[in-house]
Chain A
Amino acid sequence: MELITDIGLGFSTAITLVNLLCCLAGVFLGTLIGVLPGLGPTATIAMLLPITFTLPPVSSLIMLAGIYYGSQYGGSTTSILVNVPGEAASVVTTLDGYQMARNGRAGVALTTAAVGSFFAGTVATALIALFASPMAEIALKFGPAEFFSLIVLGLLAAIVLAKGSLLHAFGMVILGLLLGLVGSDVNTGTQRFTFGMPQLADGIGFVVVAMGMFGIAEIIRNLEREDIHSTVVNKITSLMPTREDWKRMIAPTLRGTVIGSALGILPGSGSILGAFAAYAIEKKVSKHGKEFGTGAIEGVAAPESANNAGAQTSFIPMLTLGIPSSPVMALMIGAMIIQGIQPGPSVMVEQPALFWGIIVSMWIGNFFLIILNLPLIGIWVRMVSVPYHFLFPAILVFCGIGVFSLNNAQFDIYLMALFGVLGYIFVKLDCEPAPMLLAFILGPLMEEYMRRALLLSRGDPMIFIRRPISATLLAIGVLAIVAAALPALYKKREEAFRE
C-alpha cells in the first residue's frame, strides 16, 4: 500500500504546470538532439545545466531526465532514415531499420520504433517504481569478472548475429577491439597506438567512428550509382504498419523490454549490450530469422524496445545509490549537488517527492514522446524523398557539425572522413561494420574489467570460471558460437562430399 501513496506523491509532484512543461521541454529537446547526429544528451545537458539552476530541483531533474530518454527515442530516426546512428545504442537499429527504409517502409519502421520504445519505456519505469532498490543490490554483485564474461558473451553474440560469414565478423570484432585500444592505458597511463598525436590520447570517439563507418560510407556507396539525382529509397508504400506487422512486433517488443531492462542497470555498457543482445536473441528465436538484415520488422522492434527500457532502468544506480553509470548520470548528479541535494541512498528516504516525482514524470514523458513522435513520422519520411543530391550534402554538413561539436576539434572531422573511406572499403569486402562498432565500444571496457579482475585475483585467470555468474555467462557464449558454427561446418562437409 505504501507504493500507492508513494506513486500518489509522485503524481502530485509531477503534475504541476511547471513540471509538466519541464517534462515536455525535456523530451522535445531530447527528440531533437537524438535526431541531430552527433549532438548527444551529454553535451546538451552540460550546456543546459546553468539554466536549470534557476528552476526548482525536481523540475530541473525532470527536464534533464526527459532530455536523456527523449534522445534515446530520437536516436533511431537517423539510423532508419539515413543510416547514421545518433547514439551508440541505435547502431543495431541501422541493420534492419535502414533496410526497411530502402524498401519504402521508413514510416513503418519509425512507427515500430516509437511504439516499441513507448511500451518499453512505460514497463521499465514501472520496474523502477517496484524494484529499484533490490535491482541496484543485484547489480552490485557484478564484479569485474562478471562484467568481463558478460562482454565476451556480447561479442560472441555479435559474431553470431552477423549476416555474412562468421570469419568476416570475427575479423571485424578483432579490428574493433584494436581500435578500442587506441589511447591511454588505464592502469599505467601509457600511450598506445597514438603515434604521438595528443588528439588520440583519450582514444577515438564513438560518434566519429559510427558516422564515418555508417553515414559517410553509405553516402559514398549511394553516390557510386549513376541515378543519384533521384532518391535512394523505393516508393513509400505506407506509413502505418499492417495487421501482419503489428502481430510480428508484439513478441520481439516484449523480449526486448525484458532484456533491455535487465542489462540497463549495469553501469557503462548496459543499453548498448541490451540492444545487441535483444537483436541477437530475436534473430535466433524468430520465425523470420532469415529476413534479418534485409528489413525485418522484428530487427527494429527488439533493439529499439531494449535500448529504451535500458535508458529508463539506467536511472536505478543513480537514483538509489548516487552512482553515475554514464556521463549523463554524472551530470544529473552534478545538477543535484548544485541544487543542494546530496545524491546517494538517502535520496529515496529524505526526498521522496523528488524520487517519485522523477519516476512518474518518466511515464508522462514517454506519453508525450509518442504523441510528439507519431505525427512527426510523416515529415521525416518526406525528408528521405528529397532528391539525393540535395539530401547528401545536408547529411554531410550535419555529420560534420555533430562531430565537431563533441570536442571542438577539426581533427575529429578528418578522422570521420577516414573512417568513411574505411567503411566503404568494408562494404565492398562484404564485412559488416556493426560487430566492429560493438567491439570498439566494448573493447576498452572488456580490457578494463579483465585487468581489474586479474589484479584482484593476483593474476589467476581461473577467477572467471570460479565465480558462478561469470562461468555461466562464458558457457552460454561458447554454446552460442558452437551452435552457430556447426551448421556452417556441416554444410562445408556436405559440399566437400558432393564434389
Chain B
Amino acid sequence: MRYVKQLLTLFCIAFLVLAVSLPVFAAEDKYPSKVITIIVPFSAGGPSDTIARLVAQTMSVSLKNQIIVENVAGAGGTIGAARVAKAQPDGYTLFVHHIGHSTAPTLYRKLTYDPINDFAPIGLINDGAMTLVARKNFPANNLKELIAYVKANKDKVNLANAGVGSASHLAGMLFMSALQIDLTTIPYKGTGPAMNDLLGGQVDFMIDQTTNTTSHIKAGKIKVYGVTTKKRLASLPDVPTMNEAGLPNFEITVWHALYAPKGTPKPIIDQLSKALQAALKDPVLNQRFADLGSESVAQNRATPEALRAHLKSEINKWGPIIKKAGVFAD
C-alpha cells in the first residue's frame, strides 16, 4: 500500500513537471508560437505609436504570427521601458522607443533600468525628419532672418515644445546651444496642443517632427524655415535643409528602434532582426513612412550591432547638451 502511494505521488510529480515544462519545450521548438506584444511607451495615436503599429503589422506577415501593440505611456517613456527591462526574455515582449531612449539616462537621474545593458537591441527602424516652423505672421522670412530676429529679441521670443524629453524639446535645446542663447521655452503636453497654439499664434516657433507639421506647412497655416536632415525631403521639396539655410551642422532625426529584454536568446533576436529588415523593404510601409516625412533605415542599420553602436553614440551626444541646459525630468 505504501509503495502504491509513493508511486502515485511520483507519478503526480512527474506529470506536473511535464505539464509545466511541455509548453516551454513546445515554445522553444518553434518561435514564434504565440502572440508577440510590442510595448510602446507612449499613448496610442501619437507618431511613435503609428510607427510601431506599421512595423508590427508588416512584421507579423513575414513572421506568420500575430503581433499586438500595447501602450504603456508615461514619464517620458520610462515607465514602459522599465516594464520591458523586467519582462520575460522569451521573444514575446518587444519594445519600440524613439530617440528618448538615449536621452532618458541623462534626463532621469533615478532610472530603475539601464538603457543599454537591460535591453537586447534588434535594429533601427527609421529616421524621422524635423522642421523649424513658426506662426504664420512671424516677421522673419528665412532662417538667417529668424536667427537674427531671435538673437535681437531673445527676451520676447517664445519657443514651444511638446514636453520634457520630447523630440521637440531636444531639438529646441540643440538650437539654443547652436545659437549660444537662452530663450523662454513653453512646454506642452504632447505635440497636438503645441501645434494648436502655434496655429493660433500664441507662441512664436518650434522645431517639431514632420509627422506633425507637414500638413500645416502645405496648407500655409505656419511658416517653415528648414528641415533637420542631411538632404531635402521628398514630401517637402521646396524646404531647404538647415545647412543650406545657414545653420551648419544642425542635424537631428527622430529615430525609432526595436528592442527585446536582456537575455533574449540570440537565435530569436536574429530571427526578429531579419523580420524587421524584411518589413522595412515593404513598399506600403515605406509609402506610409514617406507620408509621415520619415524614412526606413538602410538594411545594414536594422541590425543589433548597428543599433547598439547608435544608441551609445546618441547617449554620448545628448548627455552634455542636456547637462549644460540643466534640465532634468525628475
Contact with B along A186-210 (1 / 0, CB 8 A): 1111110000001001100000000
A142–B196 alpha-carbon span in the complex (Å): 10
On whether the beta carbons of A50 and B57 are closer than 8 Å, the reply is yes
Chain A, interface size category, equals: 35 or more
Interface 9-mer from B8-16, B24-32, B46-54, B123-131: B46-54
Contact with A along B191-207 (1 / 0, CB 8 A): 01101110111110000
A321 within 8 A of B: yes
Count of inter-chain pairs, beta carbons less than 8 A: 136
Q: Which of B43, B196, B202 is close to A323, meaning CB atoms less than 8 Å apart?
A: B196
* Shortest Cβ gap from A40 to chain B (Å): 12
A49–B49 alpha-carbon span in the complex (Å): 11
Instruction: Note all chain A residues with C-beta closer than 8 A to B292.
Output: 337
Instruction: Note all chain B residues with C-beta closer than 8 A to A187.
Output: 164, 187
A342–B44 alpha-carbon span in the complex (Å): 17
* Shortest Cβ gap from A142 to chain B (Å): 7
On whether the beta carbons of B202 and A330 are closer than 8 Å, the reply is no
Q: Which of A191, A201, A448 is close to B189, meaning CB atoms less than 8 Å apart?
A: A448
Within 8 A of B (CB), among A428-474: 448, 452, 455-456, 458
Contact with B along A346-387 (1 / 0, CB 8 A): 100000000000000000000000000000000000000000
On whether the beta carbons of A198 and B79 are closer than 8 Å, the reply is yes
A186–B75 alpha-carbon span in the complex (Å): 10
Instruction: Note all chain B residues with C-beta closer than 8 A to A393.
Output: none
A332–B49 alpha-carbon span in the complex (Å): 12
Q: Which of A188, A190, A267, A455 is close to B193, meaning CB atoms less than 8 Å apart?
A: A267
Within 8 A of B (CB), among A272-318: 317
B68 within 8 A of A: yes
On whether the beta carbons of B203 and A456 are closer than 8 Å, the reply is yes
Q: Which of A45, A184, A337, A346 is close to B50, meaning CB atoms less than 8 Å apart?
A: A337
Within 8 A of A (CB), among B74-104: 74-76, 79, 82
B288 within 8 A of A: yes
Known: A144-B197, A337-B288, A340-B288. A452 touches B186 (CB 8 A): yes
Identify the closest chain A residue to B82 (Cβ): A198
On whether the beta carbons of A340 and B291 are closer than 8 Å, the reply is yes
On whether the beta carbons of B196 and A267 are closer than 8 Å, the reply is yes
Known: A202-B74, A323-B199, A340-B287. A191 touches B44 (CB 8 A): no
A322 within 8 A of B: yes
Instruction: Note all chain A residues with C-beta closer than 8 A to B79.
Output: 198, 201-202
On whether the beta carbons of B53 and A334 are closer than 8 Å, the reply is yes
Instruction: Note all chain A residues with C-beta closer than 8 A to B291.
Output: 337, 340, 342
Instruction: Note all chain A residues with C-beta closer than 8 A to B105.
Output: none
On whether the beta carbons of A346 and B218 are closer than 8 Å, the reply is yes
On whether the beta carbons of B158 and A456 are closer than 8 Å, the reply is yes
Among B68, B192, B195, B329, residue most surrounded by chain A Cβ atoms (within 10 Å): B192
Q: Which of A327, A333, A344 is close to B219, meaning CB atoms less than 8 Å apart?
A: A344
A247 within 8 A of B: no
Specify the main secondary structure of chain B where it touches its partner: mixed
Chain B, interface size category, equals: 35 or more
Q: Which of A46, A330, A346, A455 is close to B192, meaning CB atoms less than 8 Å apart?
A: A330
On whether the beta carbons of B57 and A142 are closer than 8 Å, the reply is no
Instruction: Note all chain A residues with C-beta closer than 8 A to B193.
Output: 267-268, 323
Among B45, B74, B215, residue most surrounded by chain A Cβ atoms (within 10 Å): B45
* Shortest Cβ gap from B45 to chain A (Å): 3
On whether the beta carbons of A338 and B50 are closer than 8 Å, the reply is yes
Among A53, A140, A268, A329, residue most surrounded by chain B Cβ atoms (within 10 Å): A140
A222 within 8 A of B: no
Identify the closest chain B residue to A328 (Cβ): B45
Instruction: Note all chain A residues with C-beta closer than 8 A to B195.
Output: 323
On whether the beta carbons of B184 and A321 are closer than 8 Å, the reply is no
A57 within 8 A of B: no
A141 within 8 A of B: yes
B330 within 8 A of A: yes
* Shortest Cβ gap from B73 to chain A (Å): 8
* Shortest Cβ gap from B138 to chain A (Å): 15
On whether the beta carbons of A140 and B45 are closer than 8 Å, the reply is no
A252 within 8 A of B: no
Within 8 A of A (CB), among B203-229: 203, 211, 214-216, 218-219, 221
Known A143-B200, A337-B288; further 19 A-B contacts with Cβ < 8 A: A49-B44, A143-B197, A186-B189, A187-B164, A187-B187, A188-B329, A189-B164, A198-B79, A321-B221, A325-B192, A327-B44, A330-B190, A334-B46, A334-B49, A334-B50, A338-B54, A345-B221, A452-B188, A455-B158
10 closest pairs, A vs B, by CB?
A344-B215, A330-B45, A189-B329, A140-B200, A334-B45, A345-B219, A331-B45, A46-B44, A202-B74, A143-B202
11 residue pairs from A and B, CB less than 8 Å apart: A143-B197, A188-B164, A188-B327, A190-B330, A201-B74, A323-B192, A330-B45, A332-B45, A340-B288, A342-B291, A344-B214
Report B's interface with A, CB cutoff 8 A: 43-46, 49-50, 53-54, 57, 68-69, 71-76, 79, 82, 107, 112, 155, 158, 163-165, 184, 186-190, 192-193, 195-197, 199-203, 211, 214-216, 218-219, 221, 287-288, 291-292, 327-330
